[in-house]
Amino acid sequence: MVVAHTILIVEDDTGARTALVKALEKSGYRVLQASNGEQALQVIAKEEVRLVLCDIKLPAMDGLEVLTRIKKLQPQIMVVMMTAFGSVEKAVKALKTGAMDFLEKPLDLEMIRSVVETALQMPLAYTQDSEGIIQEFKHTNIFEGMVGGSRVMHDIFDTIIKIANARTTVLISGETGTGKELVARAIHNNSHRSGPFIVINLAAVPDTLIESELFGHVKGAHSTAFRDRKGRLAEAEGGTLFLDEVGDIPENIQVKLLRALENRTYERLGENTSHKVDVRFIAATNINLEEAVATGKFRQDLYYRLKVLRIALPPLREHAEDIPLLAQTFLQRFCQENSRQIRKISQEVMDMLCGYRWPGNIRELEKVMETAVVMSDKDTLLPVHLAPELNKTETKNTLSIPIGTPLRDVEREMIRHTLASVGGNKTKAAEILGIGTRTLYRKIEEYGLQG
């Protein structure tokens, strides 16, 4: 006999609670209820609860507090928060505290069933803390080969794990080559969505074809629509749709995308029937969408829908301490691919790599390393193997600070840039700055510069 999973509903509104209990019981689950946090904790102490659906707004102990306590007492219990539309900030905080997902009110019963089903299918081991998973990643490659030892990169890995299973839309921003697509793939691969990861690059598809590419069309809908065609949205059913360069989406399609995001429904070009789709959206942009909203190029409501969860990828020059590790990783990879045996990167080369501004970010570093490997016939990489631009232009050895900047900020920026220019090497940075290493450590701590 299959034993039904036990679900606990924590909700102070009797009407809403009863409706939820009924709906889930109808789906065959064993459902318990509590009208406040205290009661909820009593229930989980006595019963073997697998999943908790918890309202964020509760009298006395609020939902976030209940979540924190449950995760402390029984971290294996999965928690999905329920929140009023618009209070997503709290919901995002909940994800960071360990909630698996959140549902926005008014609740859609079909959506609840699908979230509950996904949660209950998850293996218990998955509920371990993200630190543990990050430690494992080196062996399992769950981050798509991404590397990074800096605090910012660590925070990004941590965020990827925490938000992977929510269905919430994610907006990834960052300059070109910072790893936006890699992060999107990593989120998908860490989720339990069984469908595919589908990409649509909105800057690459001609404006006139975007609608049909995204939503599909019926035969005859436009001059080249010779037969019915599925759109990328439908192809992503059960999986993730990656909207790359979302800032380039034409205005007339923004409304349609908004509808798809809000109701998970769409219509193919040339028909009136609407279809439901179960897709998680991840969008990426390298333009400043806030500015595009201010100048009227991008709809504000769409922007708000997209940015519920945000991941801002830093330019490489802001986490230059990762350059040595990245360079080594690429060296190994390209040596393998090109059957070379270069064992070392010379100190001069490393200094040049760490001092360069990297306008093309990690992708540019990757290319530079690839060329260097191909150019080299020694067992050590030397400056002559590097592309000429690394030897002269755009090194970031100057810092421009406007008159009137408080001295404290000048000091902080000077330390930050010096550290970046030496790849995070504190002894070297202290030497350049003419202060003791101890003083440098103290200042790093004081200004919160590095982990």
Ligand X SMILES: Nc1ncnc2c1ncn2[C@@H]1O[C@H](COP(=O)(O)OP(=O)(O)OP(=O)(O)O)[C@@H](O)[C@H]1O
Contact partner, 146, from Mg ion, ligand X, none, Cβ < 5-8 Å per class: ligand X
Q: CB atoms < 10 A from the CB of 336, how many?
A: 11
* CB 242, min distance to Mg ion, A: 9
Among 158, 181, 267, 370, binds Mg ion (CB under 5 A): 181
Kindly state whether residue 178 participates in binding ligand X, applying the rule CB under 6 A: yes
By CB under 5 A, which span of 148-156, 174-182, 183-191, 299-307 interacts with Mg ion?
174-182
Kindly state whether residue 315 participates in binding ligand X, applying the rule CB under 6 A: no
Q: Rank residues 77 and 198 by Cβ distance to ligand X and give the closer one.
A: 198
Among 39, 97, 286, 395, binds ligand X (CB under 6 A): 286
Which phi and psi (to 5°) does residue 241 adopt?
-105, 120
Kindly state whether residue 181 participates in binding ligand X, applying the rule CB under 6 A: yes
Contacts with ligand X, 354-373, as mask; x by CB under 6 A: --------xx--x-------
Kindly state whether residue 148 participates in binding ligand X, applying the rule CB under 6 A: yes
CB 88 within 8 A of CB 308: yes
414 token code pair: 């000077």
* CB 37, min distance to ligand X, A: 40
* CB 166, min distance to ligand X, A: 21
- Residue with CB nearest ligand X? 179
CA atoms 58, 60, 62, 66: torsion sign: negative
Q: Rank residues 182 and 352 by Cβ distance to ligand X and give the closer one.
A: 182
The sheet with strand 78-84 has its strands ordered as 30-34, 6-10, 51-55, 78-84, 101-105
Kindly state whether residue 182 participates in binding ligand X, applying the rule CB under 6 A: yes
Q: Rank residues 179 and 423 by Cβ distance to ligand X and give the closer one.
A: 179
CB 63 within 8 A of CB 55: yes
Residues 316 and 293: their CA atoms lie apart, in Å, by: 27
* CB 332, min distance to Mg ion, A: 24
Q: Residues in contact with Mg ion, total (CB under 5 A)?
A: 1
Q: Rank residues 178 and 425 by Cβ distance to ligand X and give the closer one.
A: 178
Q: Rank residues 181 and 411 by Cβ distance to ligand X and give the closer one.
A: 181
Q: Rank residues 277 and 365 by Cβ distance to ligand X and give the closer one.
A: 365
Peptide bond into 196 cis (omega under 30): no
Q: Would you list the DSSP string of 212-229?
A: HHHHEE-TTSSTT--S-E
Kindly state whether residue 176 participates in binding ligand X, applying the rule CB under 6 A: yes
Per DSSP, the chain holds a count of helices (H) and strands (E) of 20, 16
* CB 180, min distance to Mg ion, A: 5
By CB under 5 A, which span of 71-79, 177-185, 300-308, 399-407 interacts with Mg ion?
177-185
Residues 230 and 304: their CA atoms lie apart, in Å, by: 28
Q: Rank residues 242 and 266 by Cβ distance to ligand X and give the closer one.
A: 242
Q: Would you list the DSSP string of 71-120?
A: HHH-TTSEEEEEEETT-HHHHHHHHHHT--EEEEESP-HHHHHHHHHHHH
Q: Rank residues 55 and 248 by Cβ distance to ligand X and give the closer one.
A: 248
Kindly state whether residue 201 participates in binding Mg ion, applying the rule CB under 5 A: no
* CB 330, min distance to Mg ion, A: 18
* CB 173, min distance to ligand X, A: 9
- Residue with CB nearest Mg ion? 181
CA atoms 418, 424, 430, 432: torsion sign: negative
Which residue has 């030897």 as its token pair? 391
364 token code pair: 């540019």
Kindly state whether residue 12 participates in binding Mg ion, applying the rule CB under 5 A: no
* CB 70, min distance to ligand X, A: 33
450 token code pair: 């590095």
By CB under 5 A, which span of 58-66, 180-188, 191-199, 223-231 interacts with Mg ion?
180-188
Pick from 309, 284, 303: which is nearest to 101 by CA?
309
Q: Would you list the DSSP string of 304-348?
A: HHHTTEEEEPPPGGGGGGGHHHHHHHHHHHHHHHTT----EE-HH
Residues 212 and 124: their CA atoms lie apart, in Å, by: 41
Name the 3-class secondary structure at 188.
Answer: helix
Q: Rank residues 176 and 265 by Cβ distance to ligand X and give the closer one.
A: 176
Q: Residues in contact with ligand X, total (CB under 6 A)?
A: 17
* CB 345, min distance to ligand X, A: 16
Residue ranges binding ligand X (CB under 6 A): 145-148, 174, 176-182, 286, 326, 362-363, 366
Question: By the criterion CB under 5 A, which residues form the site for Mg ion?
Answer: 181
